[in-house]
């Protein structure tokens, strides 16, 4: 009897072990297989090159995560208007944002410097656009600039993931040829952030009141005489149809934007998915470098055909713009400690005292 009871209890115990093996899994197993469905919105409309290539970021994230990161891509203003994108990502309405720091300068002053302030990202030692872009990326990641940005955006509940490029920019189109300081006077130009003040310092009439979506019609109707963007102002947004003059001499060799992640979401991700997002964002950097290089070749071809008309600022006009830019740098450095550090990093990098 005792022997039979022993067999009985042994069978029960074996059955319980089998059931546990069948239905129980380690705590991390569920998390390891979890699929994250995320939303990223750009601050830019359809037609903008960086927005249209954002699908490549999503595809890379899916591939690097073995399908566990499924990112839906939206243009402005499909979920929220651009001016609300920062706060929408902060509170989790949107999981990630794609935009440029100049749009958040009133919240995070160093963001305007990150984006590219007048003449800060001119890189004469580079012979090609990809070279200049990668010189800039090296500066960001090796100078301490990235750590500074993550610290400042982190105060607002956002994780700075990585940078991307907008090519040679600002790319300025106008309804008339502008070469001299006299040509500049009174020209109504759509711009962003600190660029408004810079333009006004030299005689332009800068404004941020016109959205990218409304810029074509504003140029056509004369509400604006000029607008800055990137090369997709021509290749995607078609502004050259109403403003065919490409004003050269105002641009940096490259300027940059960022992808930022809601901080609570970022901290909740397993380490392997954080690595997948970082890798996808770096892939996206190289995608934008390649894409903008190709688009610039399209514009150069349009110049040869006379569709886009290239106008170079005179040396005198360039000198005045340069003087105003350096004065503006110092004003920006006085805003806060982070801005002061960023300007100091740029001056050291460019050999400016």
Location of structure tokens 């403003």: 243
At the top level of CATH, the class of 35-166+255-300 is alpha beta
- What DSSP line would sit under 147-158, residue for residue? HHHHHHHHTTTE
Q: What average pLDDT does this structure show over 192-199? A: 92
Greater pLDDT, 36 or 21: 36
pLDDT of residue 17: 37
Report pLDDT digits (tens) over 256-292: 999 999 999 999 999 999 999 999 999 999 999 999 9
Cis-peptide into 77, omega within 30 deg: yes
As a whole number of angstroms, the distance between CA 241 and CA 229 comes to 15
pLDDT of residue 154: 98
Task: Check whether 18 has a pLDDT greater than 60.
Answer: no
pLDDT of residue 1: 43
pLDDT of residue 31: 53
Same fold, 35-166+255-300 and 171-252+302-346: yes
In contact, 206 and 185? CB cutoff 8 Å: no
pLDDT category of residue 6 using cuts at 50, 70 and 90: very low
Report pLDDT digits (tens) over 90-121: 999 999 999 999 999 999 999 999 999 999 99
Task: Check whether 2 has a pLDDT greater than 60.
Answer: no
In contact, 194 and 112? CB cutoff 8 Å: yes
Domain boundaries, the chain: 35-166+255-300, 171-252+302-346
pLDDT of residue 47: 87
- CA–CA distances in Å: residue 145 to residues 94, 338, 340: 26, 10, 12
pLDDT of residue 4: 44
* Distance between first and last Cα of the chain: 96
In contact, 171 and 233? CB cutoff 8 Å: yes
Task: Check whether 331 has a pLDDT greater than 50.
Answer: yes
As a whole number of angstroms, the distance between CA 71 and CA 276 comes to 12
Closest by alpha carbon to 227, among 175, 300, 160, 153?
175
As a whole number of angstroms, the distance between CA 290 and CA 122 comes to 19
Q: What average pLDDT does this structure show over 322-343? A: 97
At the top level of CATH, the class of 171-252+302-346 is alpha beta
Task: Check whether 83 has a pLDDT greater than 60.
Answer: yes
Least confident of 2-16, 207-221, 225-239: 2-16
pLDDT of residue 24: 40
Report the predicted TM-score, pTM, of the whole model to 2 decimal places: 0.85
Answer positive or negative: Cα dihedral of 298, 301, 306, 311.
positive
pLDDT of residue 5: 43
pLDDT category of residue 353 using cuts at 50, 70 and 90: confident
How many Cβ atoms are within 10 Å of 251's Cβ, its own excluded? Answer: 22
Report pLDDT digits (tens) over 140-180: 999 999 999 999 999 999 999 999 999 998 999 999 999 99
As a whole number of angstroms, the distance between CA 305 and CA 227 comes to 22
As a whole number of angstroms, the distance between CA 339 and CA 337 comes to 5
pLDDT of residue 21: 41
């Amino acid at each position: 009897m005792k022997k039979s009871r022993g067999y009985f209890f042994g069978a029960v115990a074996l059955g319980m072990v089998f059931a546990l093996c069948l239905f129980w899994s380690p705590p991390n197993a569920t998390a390891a297989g979890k699929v994250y469905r995320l939303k990223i919105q750009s601050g830019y409309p359809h037609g903008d090159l960086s927005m249209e290539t954002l699908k490549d970021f999503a595809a890379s994230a899916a591939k690097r995560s073995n399908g566990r990161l499924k990112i839906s891509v939206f243009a402005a203003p499909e979920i929220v208007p651009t001016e609300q994108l920062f706060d929408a990502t902060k509170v989790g309405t949107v999981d990630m944002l794609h935009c440029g720091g100049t749009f958040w300068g009133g919240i995070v002053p160093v963001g305007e410097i990150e984006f590219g302030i007048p003449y800060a990202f001119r890189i004469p030692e580079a012979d090609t656009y990809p070279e200049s872009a990668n010189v800039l990326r090296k500066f960001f990641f090796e100078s301490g600039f990235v750590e500074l940005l993550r610290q400042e955006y982190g105060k607002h509940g956002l994780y700075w993931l990585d940078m991307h490029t907008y090519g040679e920019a600002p790319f300025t189109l106008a309804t008339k040829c502008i070469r001299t300081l006299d040509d500049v006077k009174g020209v109504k130009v759509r711009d962003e952030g600190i660029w408004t003040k810079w333009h006004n310092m030299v005689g332009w009439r800068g404004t941020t009141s016109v959205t990218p979506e409304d810029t074509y019609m504003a140029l056509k109707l004369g509400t604006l005489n000029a607008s800055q963007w990137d090369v997709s102002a021509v290749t995607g947004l078609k502004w050259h149809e109403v403003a065919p003059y490409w004003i050269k001499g105002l641009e940096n060799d490259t300027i940059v934007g960022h992808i930022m992640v809601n901080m609570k979401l970022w901290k909740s991700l397993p380490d392997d998915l954080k690595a997948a997002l970082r890798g996808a964002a770096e892939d996206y950097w190289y995608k934008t470098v390649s894409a903008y290089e190709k688009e610039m070749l399209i514009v150069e071809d349009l110049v040869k055909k006379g569709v886009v008309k290239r106008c170079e600022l005179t040396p005198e006009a360039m000198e005045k713009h340069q003087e105003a830019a350096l004065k503006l740098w110092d004003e920006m450095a006085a805003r806060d400690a982070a801005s002061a550090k960023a300007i100091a990093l740029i001056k050291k990098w460019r050999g400016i005292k």
